[in-house]
Every structure is written in C-alpha cells, then in structure tokens.
Amino acid sequence: MSPNDGTVAAIGEFALIQAVTEGRRQPASTLLGPGDDAAVVAAPDGRVVATTDVLVQGVHFRLDWSSPEQVGRKAVAVNLSDVAAMGAKPTTVLVGFACPPDLPATVVTELMNGMWAEAGRAGIGVSGGDMVSADQLVISVTALGDLEDREPVTRSGARPGDVLAVSGRLGWAAAGLAVLRRGFRSPVGVVNAQRCPEPPYEAGPRAALAGATAMIDISDGLLADLGHIASASGVGLDVQTTDLEVSTRLREVGTALGADPLRWVLTGGEDHALAATFPPFGDLPEGWRRIGTVTMPDSGITVDGKEYGHEGGWEHWR
C-alpha cells in the first residue's frame, strides 16, 4: 500500500520506514545509514557534539498553523542551531517519532521531506531513528556535530569588556506567533519565521574561528538566553537597543497589533539566532553584528544600562 493511501496503522511500521528512507542520498559523513541496529557516522575530530530536542504537538507546533513539511524543517533546525552554537559543523541527525495510529501517513512522509530538506540545507542527512505509537504527535531529533579540531565554544567563557554580538534574525518568530494567535496568516514572511526558523548554521563555526569566548542559541528569547551566559560566565551583559535591528516589517506588524516590536526582539523565542561574546579588539566575523557589551560580575542582564521591566523570555512549566 502506498503512503498516500491511508493511515500509519494501515501502512504499517516497516513499510512506512521504508517509504521515508528509501532513495535518500546520504552525505559522506554517514558511513552506514538507516536499515541496521544503529547508524555509523564519521567523527574526524575524535569528539562528537551531541544535542537533542523534543517537539510536542500543541506545545511547539500546530498542524492548523504549519504544514507537516514546515514542522519537519523546524524539528531539525532547532537541533542544528544548538550544534552551531558550540562552534561545530553538523554531521547528521537521528529522528524519534511517535504518533497515533489514525494519523494520515502522508503527514509522516511530508514531515520527513521537511527534515531531509533542512538537513540538506546544512549539508547533512538523516542517518536513522525510530517510530512508535503514541496518543499524540511527538518528534525527537538528536543532532551530531564535528568540532574540526577546535575547542567547543561554551556559555562560560565571557569576560568583562568582551563585545556581545548576534547572528540571525530576532523577534520575527514572536511576531509571527502574535499574528497567528490573532487568527491571521499574513504577512507570510513573519508567519513563516514562526513556522520554520532559519538558523545561521555557518555562523557558529565562523565565530569559533574568530575567537568567540562564549556562545548560545537564542531559543527562548534574547534576554533569557543571555542570562545563561551571564550565569555560566559569572558576568553581566548589557544590550544596547540602538544596536538592535528592528525591521520595518516588524514595526508594521507591531503597529497593526498594538504591540511593541522591540519587546519581540528582546524576549521573543524560536528564531534560533546565535548570540556570542568576542574579545574587544578585532573585527567581528562575517554575518555577526554588535549589540552590546559584557559587564562586571553580578551586574545582571541590562538593557541600555537598566534592568528590563518585563519577562525575559519563555520557560517551560511557568
């Protein structure tokens, strides 16, 4: 039976796995792909960067807001951005997938099309995974990366006087979420930023080569995630709003919804931009822009030298 003809229960586990893996081209870093008990992936550096994220329907995505392909791309993107935030180059992803038996099989094949497309954007493939039955749709992706003989860039190396910089868009996904919650589906560029982020994968290794002292993926909001660098490094960070990019499109959406677009930029999550600190002398690498400075210990996260008067971003169970 074709995956276009019924539910996942009607197709069956093994036929569905075959449908989403057959004919896919693996990169050279995948030495053994799907079909055995485990994949084999090259690790030229001798060390492997590994990360995993879980996406739950209704919490991280909605199929009435996003197509299955967009959800698939997002599931891979949010993991690969964490690999990039360590200064590593992605090498592969593994996918764990759970869904109800009555889910149309086409949803699964379209999800996998999106995963392969996003993996391809990073120059890698999907080397394996697992499928199981569950009461709701859950996607778990594990991403691996190669440090290419560099040291990992952690959250704990920022020093007072360092330059704070970002690569990628901020506030777009939050603006898109605000639009969707109002029942609208446009402007498409803003809405699609929420449906499917576009992390700057190459910016992570580029920052590492330029001597970045600390780095993080912006998943929960700029101020919230900068707080992790501040805590791990024992420093403060000050964001200068005059250095932040608030695009004309975000300002237009903010005006239409009666919202402050700067708040989306400071606290909105799911853009998966990267934030990093760099030594104060020298140029920033390509694709990075200055947004502030690292300040003295115990000075906290400030905006224009003052404490920010709103919640800094997303946190589960709050």
Reported as a pLDDT band with limits 50, 70 and 90, residue 83 is: very high
Q: What is the pLDDT of residues 199-244, one digit of tens each?
A: 999 999 999 999 999 999 999 999 999 999 999 999 999 999 999 9
Query: Both tokens of residue 61?
Result: 């995505």
Give the mean model confidence (pLDDT) for residues 59-76.
96
- Local structure of residue 191 (DSSP, 8 states): H
The residue ranking higher by pLDDT, 39 or 186, is 186
Q: What is the pLDDT of residues 272-318, one digit of tens each?
A: 999 999 999 989 999 999 999 999 998 899 999 999 866 655 444 34
pLDDT of the residue at 24: 79
Q: Which residue from 209, 229, 219, 231 is spatially nearest to 288, judged by alpha carbons?
A: 209
- Annotated binding-site positions for ATP: 129-130, 155, 219
pLDDT of the residue at 312: 54
pLDDT of the residue at 174: 96
Separation CA 79–CA 301 (nearest Å): 26
pLDDT of the residue at 316: 46
Reported as a pLDDT band with limits 50, 70 and 90, residue 128 is: very high
Helices (H) and strands (E) in the chain, counts: 10, 13
Q: Are 16 and 3 in contact (CB under 8 A)?
A: yes
pLDDT of the residue at 227: 95
Give the mean model confidence (pLDDT) for residues 161-174.
97
Counting every residue written for the chain, the total comes to 318
Give the chain's mean pLDDT.
Answer: 92
Separation CA 196–CA 181 (nearest Å): 16
Query: Both tokens of residue 32?
Result: 């053994």
- Annotated binding-site positions for substrate: 60, 270, 314
Q: Which residue from 122, 118, 147 is spatially nearest to 49, judged by alpha carbons?
A: 147
What is the H or E stretch that residue 118 is in?
helix 105-121
Q: CA 133, 69, 143 angle in degrees (round to 5)?
A: 70
The residue ranking higher by pLDDT, 317 or 171, is 171
Q: Are 168 and 203 in contact (CB under 8 A)?
A: yes
- Annotated binding-site positions: 37, 51-53, 60, 82, 129-130, 155, 217, 219-220, 270, 314
Q: What is the pLDDT of residues 130-145, one digit of tens each?
A: 999 999 999 999 999 9
The residue ranking higher by pLDDT, 25 or 316, is 25
pLDDT of the residue at 67: 97
Residue 11 has pLDDT above 80, yes or no: no
pLDDT of the residue at 318: 47
Contact residues for 181 (Cβ-Cβ < 8 A; gap 6+): none
Q: Which residue has the tokens 């998943």?
A: 219
Prediction pTM value: 0.90
Give the mean model confidence (pLDDT) for residues 244-251.
96
Separation CA 73–CA 90 (nearest Å): 15
- Annotated binding-site positions for Mg(2+): 37, 51-53, 82, 130, 217, 220
| Range in 8-17, 187-196, 223-232 with the lowest mean pLDDT | 8-17
Q: Which domains does the chain have, with CATH numbers?
A: 3-146 (3.30.1330.10), 163-307 (3.90.650.10)
Kindly write down the DSSP assignment for every residue of 63-86, as one continuous string. Answer: TTTS-HHHHHHHHHHHHHHHHHHT
The residue ranking higher by pLDDT, 33 or 268, is 268
Give the mean model confidence (pLDDT) for residues 17-27.
77
pLDDT of the residue at 2: 58
Residue 43 has pLDDT above 90, yes or no: no
Q: Which residues is 167 bridged to in the sheet?
A: 274
Separation CA 171–CA 267 (nearest Å): 8
